[in-house]
Structure 1
Amino acid sequence: MTDQVVKSLTDPSFLIALLVGIAVFATVFTAMPSLIGNPLKARMKAVALERDELRAKQRVRLAAESDRRRGALREQQHAGMRNIVERLDLRRALVDEGTLNKLKVAGFRGQNPLTRFLFFRLVLPFVGLVLAAVYVFVMGGAAEKPVFVKIFICIVAAYVGFYLPVLYVSNRATKRKQSIQQAWPDALDLMLICVESGMSVEAALRKVADEIGSQSVDLAEEFVLTNAELSYLTERRQAYENLAARTGLDSVKSVTQALIQAERYGTPVAHALRVLAAESRDMRMNAAEKKAAALPPKLTVPMILFFLPVLFAIILGPAGIQISERGLFGDKQQSSSE
């Protein structure tokens, strides 16, 4: 029995099988940590995620506090202006429907821009009057003029200060309308592509706002506001009418009317957008041709003042030099003959 056991243990096949088993066990035992995973690494990853989450929360809290502080500061500033405007009842005296429409077209929405507008219309006349009085009576400006003329200059300065906010709003509205008008045909083409691809009007407005922002920020802002109004207003027609009122452009108004009619009667939006996009491109081309046609009259005065004298100098310069040389040579010949 013992000899058989010893013989089995010394059998080469048995020894090979035993060594193979030990090698397999060692391999599995060695590779077990890599198969299970490093718990320290997993723990560190969890800690890192938790740290990032805490940082994000802290960042959001600090941003909210900063916004709250800035908002409180702005509210304090607007509160002082608002108190002055409300005490003097400037809205009833200076505000009408046209003023509100101009502020909307210029991009000023809400009560705070209106409050600032009225406050500056109240303050700037006194500022202009004081500056003109200091210049005329203290610094000696227009000293040779009579007192009546000096007083008239002060009144004109106050008048200019009173209408300076109106001029600023009008200039801002004009620039904003030009920016929207230049980008409007491209925006209609993009909207047509989005609608024909199966998007809804809201999705098309959102996509066009993302794409047209590099060309016109004002138009992208208007599309975002219209998309928001389509989401919460009870009547979609009101959102389109607000878009036309905020832009103040006939081309935008025609598109909004087409969208209103399409939603009311169920007509296809793509056909109306295609026609209106072609009209907008034609209008932009006509405007460019009109500017090109107006260039010759505008270039007449610069040509007379700058180009023609140089041209005359180039043409008549060599002739003048030849005439002067001939005259000089003629005088020398006459003196030598004498």
Structure 2
Amino acid sequence: MEPASGPTLLGFDVILVGSILAGIAALAVFVAIYSAVTIKDPMAKRVKALEGRREELKHGLVTTSARKRQSLVRKNDTADKVKDTLGSMKVLQQSQVEDMQQKLAWAGYRNKEIAVVLIGLRMILPIILGGIAFTLLYVVEIQPDWQFKRVAALAAAVFAGYKGPELFLSNKAAKRTDAIRKGLPDALDLLVICAEAGLTVDAAFNRVAKELGRAYPELGDEFALTAIELSFLNERKTAFQHLAYRVNLEAVQGVVTTMIQTERYGTPLASALRVLSAEFRNERMMRAEEKAARLPAIMTVPLIMFILPVLFVVILGPAACSIADAFSGGVGK
């Protein structure tokens, strides 16, 4: 026998569906009663959070401000110690510090406090390297046959300790300047396009820095820093002067002068930059032509030393052999 089934509506059991709906209604009534019984003040949590924040501010406001202030001020304990030591020895001059800071800026180092450390190293390294060379040459005697060469090696070690940091900075600054010189005409062309497109000066520098960052990272770095300074400094002239201070290149000096005069007198920026770009491209072409013109003079020495002797051997060799055979045959007869 088939089990008895209840009434159906549209194929659904009415008793089963009613039981499910009654259960859902009972659950909803239970949740509503629980919410009504356990209701809380909606502002209590907010008031408690505000009171906790007030206590935190009351106890930690001074400490937090001091920490923030300390984090904003960049300190270098090593540089401070070296500066105090050199100042007590009366050997540190402000002109030396400024000169070293300028060389650091040309080499791409932003931290000016390293200048004091480099000045200290220029005094310490000759003593250290000279002491090591004296120990190796006169105490250990690694080369006992050297007489005058010992004195020359010791002097070379002392000279390397004194001029080593400065030569390193000069070499790095020269490479960085050459890389910036190569990318400057392209950067000016992009600045012209940005200026004609209606971008502001800081936006144009930022755009050029992004576009040329991969091809010319040094120039992109300088333009990005200039864009940042243009955004927050009170005077744009100061940002341009900082760019001229960081790059040891006359072309950059000309660009900075043009930018300052354009802003002061209101002359068209795009036309001025276009003229500068053309001048720099002509200068680069003239520099390439100059190197090409010097090539014959440079090739003269290897030509005389390596090519002409081979030609003499090839041309005069058979004749010399024939003459030698002729003389040897005549002597045999």
Residues 1:122 and 2:93 are matched in the alignment: no
1:104 offset after TM fit, Å? 0.9
- Tell me, yes or no, if the aligned pair for 2:106 and 2:247 is still in contact at 8 Å: yes
Contact map agreement 1:196 1:270 (CA 8 A) in 2: yes
Looking at structure 2, the residues matched to 117 and 198 of structure 1 have their Cα atoms a distance apart, in angstroms, of 45
Distance 1:81 1:142 in 2: 42
1:25-36 → structure 2 map (5 Å cutoff): none
Corresponding residue number in structure 1 for 2:104: 103
Pick closer, same or farther for the CA change 1:144–1:258 going to 2, 3 Å: closer
Query: Which residue in 2 is equivalent to 1:158?
Result: 158
Residue 277 of structure 1 deviates from its aligned partner by 0.4
Mean alpha-carbon deviation: is it higher for 273-282 or for 258-267? 258-267
Q: Offset at 1:323?
A: 3.3
- Going from structure 1 to structure 2, the CA distance change for 1:321 and 1:121 (only over 3 Å counts) comes to same
Do the aligned residues in 1 keep the contact of 2:83 with 2:116 (CA within 8 Å)? yes
| TM-score normalised per structure 2 | 0.69
CA distance in 1, matches of 2:167, 2:129: 15
Distance 1:287 1:181 in 2: 12
For residues 280-306 of structure 1, the C-alpha deviation after alignment (integer angstroms, 9 at most, x for no partner) is 001111111111111111111111111
Structure 1 CA distance for aligned equivalents of residues 241 and 113 of structure 2: 23
RMSD: 2.9
Q: In the TM superposition, what are the counterparts of 1:212-251 in structure 2 within 5 Å?
A: 212-251=212-251
Paired amino acid for 1:171: N
SS at match of 1:182: helix
Query: Alpha-carbon deviation of 1:143?
Result: 5.5
The match for 2:256 is 256
2:134–2:154 Cα contact (<8 Å) kept: yes
Q: How does 1:1-338 map to 2 (within 5 A)?
A: 79-80=77-78, 82-89=80-87, 91-92=92-93, 95-140=96-141, 141=143, 145=147, 154=154, 157-327=157-327, 334=333
Structure 1: gaps of 5 or more residues: 1-20, 23-74
What amino acid does structure 1 have at the position aligned with 2:223?
A: F
Measure the CA separation in 2 of the matches of 1:153 and 1:325. 55
1:288–1:327: structure 2 CA closer, same or farther, 3 Å change rule? Answer: same
Q: 1:66 corresponds to which residue?
A: none
Q: What's the CA shift for 1:151?
A: 6.4
Are residues 84 and 102 of structure 1, via their aligned partners in 2, closer, same or farther at CA, if it must alter by over 3 Å? closer
Deviations 1:158-199 (A, max 9, x none): 243112111111111111111111111111112112222222
| In structure 2, C-alpha distance between the alignment counterparts of 1:193 and 1:163, rounded to whole Å | 45
Partner of 1:215: helix, strand, or coil?
coil
Q: Retained in 1: the 8 A contact 2:189–2:277? A: yes
Deviation at 1:94, TM superposition (A): 7.1
Does the 8 Å CA contact 1:81/1:119 hold for their aligned counterparts? no
- Residue matched to 1:15: none
- How far, CA to CA, are the matches of 1:324 and 1:153 in structure 2? 52
Shift of 1:145: 3.5
Q: 1:277 to 1:88 in 2, by over 3 A?
A: same
Q: Residues of 1 paired with 2:330 and 2:152: CA distance? A: 67
Measured in 2, the distance between the counterparts of 1:130 and 1:225 equals: 43
The amino acid that maps onto 1:126 is I
Q: Residues of 2 paired with 1:223 and 1:133: CA distance?
A: 48
Q: Distance in 2 between matches of 1:152 and 1:242?
A: 43
Partner in structure 2 of residue 25 of structure 1: none
Are the aligned partners of 2:241 and 2:256 in contact in 1 as well (CA < 8 Å)? yes
Q: State the TM-score, normalizing by the size of structure 1.
A: 0.68
Distance 1:113 1:255, change over 3 A: same
Question: What SS does the aligned partner of 1:214 have?
Answer: coil
Give, as a single letter, the amino acid of the residue that structure 1 aligns with 2:254. Answer: S
Distance change in 2, residues 1:185/1:144 (3 Å): closer
* Aligned-partner Cα distance in 2 for 1:308–1:151: 41
- Is the contact made by 1:106 and 1:176 (CA closer than 8 Å) also made in structure 2? yes
What fraction of aligned residue pairs are identical, expressed as a percent? 39
Tell me how far 1:120 sits from its aligned partner: 2.1
Residue correspondences, number: 259
| Aligned-pair CA distance for 1:122 | 2.9
